[in-house]
Amino acid sequence: MDVFKLLIPEVILFLAACALLMLGGSAGTRARKIAPAVALIALLVALVAAVFASPTGQIDRTGALAVTEMSAYVKAISIGVSILFVLLAWPTSASGDSNRSIHFSTETSEYFALLLLAVAGMCVVGAANSLPTLFLGIELSSIPTYIMVTMSRPQQQAQEAGVKYFFLGAAAAAILLLGMAYLFGVTGEMRLDRIADAVRGMTVGHVPALLTLAGVLLIVGLLFKLAAAPLHFYVGDVYQGAATPVTAAISYIPKVSGTIALLKILDALGGSGGGAWQGAGMLDPKLIKLLVIVAVLTMTVGNVLALLQYNVKRVLAYSSVAHSGYILVGIASMALLAPGPRAEAMGAVAFYLLAYGIMNTAAFGVLMMLPGAAREPALSAETYDDIQGIARRRPWPALAMTLCCLSLIGVPATIGFFGKLYIVRPAIGSGDTQLLWLAVLTMINAVISAAYYLKIVATMWTLPEPEHRNHATPPSERPLPVVIAVGLSAAATLVFGIVLPLAGALYHKATTLTIALGR
């Protein structure tokens, strides 16, 4: 099939990004003001194309791209959540160069162009069926975020965060590329489906050592994208240094592309023909053990470090690490389960990606709605001192943050509850001791996370406002786009938690998704 027919959403986003880059050449304020509208329209059109115009079950002539139900799902959730990122970054100043949390200077159009390119990268990862295409998609979703961090506000810490993020990302990309080179050297194939066939054709129990080495390198390279331990050390500084709308974006975009890429790589390494990777007999037990260890380590390290933070953005940064651990629990379960339960674990991972994007974006949006105690490094809230006692004057943002925190914990009647339930349910029902312990550790970590999430809630509702806070200061602006983003996210968090058939229908749909064409 013609490649352009398989990449309709990506082409729309790419053309819109090019238009925004050309628009950025204009020095007028009008160009800056219409940039977010152009990005929003492009995302809405791309979302419609992803839902209605993606020809599932198709592969292009070269085999580099394959549109499956999984890729269509990835495109839909990636574009849908990214609409919220555009709303969070919407400029509200008279010159169209900033809002309360982010300062574009004269690069407003360039920022939204970079955001669209990063979203297009996520979509390419979902459709990738070859190693080069997969690598290009991963880097397309990552490289724009490095620039977004640096340009997000004219502060030294933002520039330091961007440089750190760039160099560590480059190192991870090199490791990932080396792993792909080894995988090609062992199998002689670039296409993921043919790599799976080559692996399945090997003698069971005689997996080449280089194939295992390739798997380790690929997993390590992708762990950086997931911000998984032990490759999480950049998260605190980068998330704190970036402007809040950028932090919301980088907590989601690389996580989605990394998760989908990891699923595709493991599917190929396991020689999967529709059954479990372990059932195919080819996924090295050492790789399975590595996934289990990393999942437990990531959950625990993320939650423990979040407990020690005094900056709310750093708390959410390390909680993002913990949520990567929950996702890895689902992926590790897939490697150990039989075909039926494996589909449930696959659905759990897909559902969790959407749930995390919804509830986490709302939390960052609430911080943007609240005033900061100082003008630097941001006008909006970032620390516990900024949010202390704020519920007395701002009950609705405080209520939205409370809902998000409860959902991130996994409290019933929220989308986060179903996300964690679906993650642990296949492991509990499997009867496998290793998976049972993994599920228990997941629930223990969810309890640990309640300590710092409830600390945020208690700080807003139970503590008095600091005496040094200037009560005479007029209420901060409540830009409509941010209010809309928070409202949509909070509503979705609650609706998917209360309307059981809706959450169940989405999860059931996710369980039918297949990683690769014909698999």
Give the amino acid at 157: Q
The percent of residues above 70 in pLDDT, for the chain, comes to: 91
Q: Most confidently modeled of 24-28, 473-477, 485-489?
A: 485-489
Model pLDDT, residue 518: 46
Task: Report CA torsion sign: 128, 132, 134, 140.
Answer: negative
Q: Is the pLDDT of residue 349 over 50?
A: yes
Q: Is the pLDDT of residue 377 over 50?
A: no
Higher pLDDT, 122 or 162: 122
Q: Find out whether the peptide bond into 230 is cis, omega within 30 degrees of 0.
A: yes
Give the tokens for residue 246.
């950028």
Lowest-confidence region among 36-50, 59-73, 249-263, 462-476: 462-476
Higher pLDDT, 63 or 144: 144
Q: Is the pLDDT of residue 265 over 60?
A: yes
Q: Cα(413)–Cα(409) distance, rounded to whole angstroms?
A: 12
Model pLDDT, residue 514: 75
Model pLDDT, residue 378: 52
Lookup result for tokens 């509850």: 417
Q: Is the pLDDT of residue 26 over 80?
A: no
User: Helices 480-498 and 415-430 sit at what angle, rounded to 10 degrees?
Assistant: 40
Model pLDDT, residue 1: 56
Q: What is the pTM of this model?
A: 0.93
Q: Cβ neighbours of residue 405 under 8 Å, at least 6 residues apart?
A: 363, 453, 454, 456, 457
Q: Cα(419)–Cα(497) distance, rounded to whole angstroms?
A: 10
Give the tokens for residue 68.
């499956």
Mean pLDDT of 29-46: 90
Higher pLDDT, 504 or 258: 258
Nearest to 70 by CA among 399, 412, 516, 475: 516
pLDDT-derived band at 17 (thresholds 50, 70, 90) equals very high
Q: What is the pLDDT of residues 306-343, one digit of tens each?
A: 999 989 999 999 999 999 999 999 998 888 877 677 88
475 three-state secondary structure? coil
Q: Is the pLDDT of residue 477 over 60?
A: no
Give the tokens for residue 238.
């980068």
Model pLDDT, residue 258: 94
